[in-house]
Each structure stands twice: as structure tokens, then as C-alpha cells.
Amino acid sequence: MPETDVLRKMNLNRLFTAQDMTIGKPWKQITQFAVPMLIGNLAQQLYSTVDTIVVGKYVGDNALSAVGSASPVLNLMLALFVGVATGAGIVVSQHYGAKNREALAQSIGNCITLAALASVITMVLGPLLTMPLLRLLKTPESILFWCRDYLVIFFLGAAGFTFYNILSGILRGLGDSLSALAFLIVATVLNIFLDIWFVAGFGMGVAGVSLATIIAQIISAVCCYWRLAHMTDVFRLRREHLRLTKDCAMRIIQVGIPSGITQAIFSVSMLVVQTLTNSLGEMVIACNVIVMRVDGFAMMPNMTFGNAMSVYSGQNVGAGKLKRVEEGTRQGLLLSVGTSAAITLLLLLFGRNLMHLFTQTEALIDLSARMLRILAAGYIAMAVSQVLGGIMRGAGDTVTPMWLSVISTVLLRLPLAYGMAALTRCDAYPNGRPEALFGSLLITWVLGAGMHFLAYRSGIWKKKINYEAM
């Protein structure tokens, strides 16, 4: 093999490998890890956005409302897997930072087994609870059965979704965000193709959208498992590692449960808010779907930096480098806030143009653009919350972010949303103006950022570091 080919192969292998974030300049390591993950997260967000565009273009605004009404139910039922995935990423990153190969292999094996259990539970409970939850939410009859079809298909194929997210979380915990990106891009392209084929070609409606997503995620999961199986330079996964052990499984669950509870609380609050949204009419429901899809992209850099800081914190805590964690926090905040400020400016300037991707209804475009402008400034606040929350979770303190989420979603968002709706009732909006939904969210984001800052500065998260478990 020519020398140039050897060097090229070596450089490529270096890219697709675990990344040690305990050495080098923090901002450089964070950026190097975050950029591929950001592209991957954007591709994943493209899943749902393409779903929305295809449904809006080929089925109609009512079907668009159906996908939006189904989302809170879906998020609630998947809270179980979120806890396992978060616990997996944190424990893996800490063991990797501590350079404990056997403990690393054991934790990865236990994560895979827990993912299987979470999949079975979701596949059984999801279809059974779908209709009761949709009825509880007072989902309009015009979209009720579309919502049911979308959710039942998704839950029956939940194994793909669960395994992809948990296995990609393990890859990121090891610092390998590029492999997860490559697999996700393949799946995203496939999802777009299948979306158009099933919906436009076969006329399957929202059921086709759900089926396309499931197939694409199964392929992503298989690719992630293949990559992990070949990372023999980092760990060797044996059959006995798949057997649940009390200490390892409980460590993953202990770290992950608060994050799962956080997701469940967020999902329940979204269900309650969805009830308010449904009462405002199908136009507002469709508006909420469109704004939340754009919000998904706008929020993605914040989520990415939050996850990157969690891995960074986990590896450096595992290595016993607490001062490096604090140094990386400052640099990560600058990167995240700067990125969010640029996104806010772009949304204020070009937000309305984005609305045309989802619908041709001018009234819906006007309403969605107006609601998006309300949220725009909030992304800077969310940058602070995500980075500081990621640092605390990576250190093993998932309880503090959980309580902050409870305060933000239950004690702040819900009373604000319903209170503002009650105060803005008028002839055009007898149950309240849509500004109540988005204005309450903006206020919650700003207050949440302040609470995360105070929690981080208090240093409580440092006292919860468990070095013995590493």
C-alpha cells in the first residue's frame, strides 16, 4: 500500500475513534466533539421536520395537527428510555476517563440489556395507552384516529428508536461523535426517501410517516452496534458483560432515573399544555407544530453543547481533573451563548421565510411567524441552562437538574400558560390568545437560566461526585 494511502487511512481512523477530552485545550476538544454531534442532531431533527413538511404538503393542515397532537404522548411514553440513555452516557464517559476497561465493558453490556428491557416495556404499554391518553387530552375527533395510527406504529417499532439513541449515547460517551453522525446521515436520507414514497406514493398518510421513521432508526441502531463491536482498542464486549449486575445496573439507573423523571415531568407538562393548545383550535395546533419544528433546529446547538459538556465533564471527573471541568465550563458557555445569539438574529430576520416550508395558508404563516419572534430571544437563556445542566449531569449530579426542571415546568410554565390564557380571552380567542403558550415558555426559559447559574455556582454538584464507583 502506498505511503499516502497509509497516512490517509490513519487519519481517517483517528477521526472515527474515541476522543480523550481530558487532555488538550478545552474549547478545542469541546468544539471538535460538538460539531459532528450538532450535524447529527440537526439530521435527527430533520426526521421530524421532513415528516411535518411531507404531511403538510401531501395530506393537509389537519394531518399536520395530528402529528403535533401525538408528539406529547410519544415523549411521555419514551421517558423510560431517556433515563437509561442518559445514565449510559454518563457512566460510560466516567469509566472511559478513569481508563477502567473492564468497568467500561461491563457498563456498555448492561446498557444494551437495559435498552432491550426498555424496548419491550414501551412496545407493550405504548399501543395499550395510546387511545386513553389521546381521549384524556381531548384530541379533536377530526384528527383522533390519525394520531392513533401514528403513535401505535411508532410504539410497535420502538426498539429501533430506543437502541439507536442508547447506543449512539454510548458512542458519544466514548467521545466518538463522528460515527454516530455518519450513521444518522444514512438513516436520514433513507427516512426522507421513505417518507415521500409511503405518503406521496402509497397514500399512507401519517401512518407512512411513522413507519418511515421506524425503519430508518432500526438501520441506525444496527450501524451503531456494529461500530461498538469493532472498538476493540477501547474495550472488549463479551457475552458475560450483557448479564445485568447489581452494582453496574443500579449505577446506570441511579444516574439515569432523575433524567428519566425530568423527561417524564417535561412530557406531562407538555400534555397539559397540549390540552390548552387543543382548546385554542386547529389553527393554533398547526401553528404550534410548525413553531416547535423550527424551535427544534434553533434549540439544537444548545442541546448539543449541553450533551458535549456532559461528556466533557464526565471524562474529566473520571480522571479527577475538577479544575479542568471549571475551565471548560467557562469556554463552553462562551461558545454556546455566541452561537445562540447568532441564531436569534437569523430567526428575527428570516423566520417568516421558514414558515412557507410547512404550509401555504397565509393566516397560518402569519400566526407562526409572530409566535416564533416571541421565542427567539429565549435561546440565549437556554444556552446557559443546557451548558450548566450538562456539567452537573456529567459529574453525576442528575438530581439538581431534575429539581430545576420540576420548578421550571410545573411551578412556572403551567401556571403562566393557563394564567396568561385566562387574561387574554377575547372574541377571536375565547379560550385565550396563542401568545400565552409561547410567552409563558420564554419567561420560563429566562428564569430557568438564572436558576441553573445559581445551582452551578453553589457547588452542590461537586459534593455528589462518586469517585469510588469509577
List the pLDDT tens digit at each of the 470 positions of the chain: 444 443 344 344 444 566 677 888 888 888 887 887 788 777 766 666 776 777 777 677 677 677 767 777 777 666 666 667 777 788 888 888 888 888 888 988 988 898 888 888 888 988 898 888 888 877 778 778 888 888 888 888 888 888 888 888 888 888 787 787 788 788 888 888 888 888 878 888 778 888 888 898 899 899 988 888 888 888 888 888 888 888 888 888 887 778 777 777 777 777 788 788 888 888 888 888 888 888 888 888 998 899 889 889 988 988 888 999 999 999 999 999 999 999 999 999 988 888 888 888 888 999 999 999 999 989 999 999 999 999 998 888 888 988 998 898 888 999 999 999 999 998 888 889 989 999 999 999 999 999 999 999 998 888 877 665 55
How far is C-alpha 368 from the chain's CA centre?
23
Give, in degrees to the nearest 5, the angle at Cα 46 between 177 and 331: 45
Tell the burial category of 316 from Cβ atoms under 10 Å away from its Cβ (0-12, 13-18, 19+).
buried
Sign of CA dihedral 197, 202, 208, 211: negative
Please report, for residues 12, 192, 360, 411, 419, the alpha-carbon distance to residue 173 in angstroms, rounded to integers and kept in the order given: 20, 28, 42, 33, 41
* Predicted local distance difference test score (pLDDT) of residue 9: 42
* DSSP track, 385-428: HHHHHHHHHHTT--HHHHHHHHIIIIIIIHHHHHHHHHHT--SS
Burial class (CB in 10 A: 0-12, 13-18, 19+), 326: middle
Dihedral Cα 448, 449, 451, 455, nearest 10 deg: 130
pLDDT reported for residue 329: 95
Of the candidates 445, 435, 376, 362, which has an alpha carbon nearest to the alpha carbon of residue 405? 445
- How far lies 355's CA from each of 49, 138, 212, in Å? 12, 27, 24
Q: For residues 95 and 90, what is the distance between their CA atoms, to the nearest angstrom? A: 9
CA 351/CA 330 separation, integer angstroms: 30
> For residue 466, is it left (φ>0), alpha (ψ between -120 and 50) or beta?
beta
For residues 30 and 21, give the distance between their C-alpha atoms in angstroms, rounded to a whole number: 8
CB 55 within 8 A of CB 203: no
Q: Of the candidates 113, 92, 167, which has an alpha carbon nearest to the alpha carbon of residue 470?
A: 92
CA dihedral 352, 354, 359, 365 (to 10 degrees): -10
Q: What is the Cα–Cα distance from 227 to 17, expressed in whole angstroms?
A: 10
Nearby residues of 125 by Cβ (< 8 Å), 6 or more positions away: 77
- Residue reference for cell 421536520: 49
| Exposure on the CB side of residue 153, measured as CA atoms within 13 A | 20
pLDDT at residue number 18: 66
Q: What pLDDT sits at residue 48? A: 66
Q: What is the CA radius of gyration of the chain?
A: 22
- Residue 240 carries which DSSP code? G
What predicted TM-score, i.e. pTM, was given to this entire model?
A: 0.72
Question: Which burial class, exposed, middle or buried, applies to 70 when counting CB atoms under 10 A from its CB (0-12, 13-18, 19+)?
Answer: buried
d(CA 118, CA 2): 48
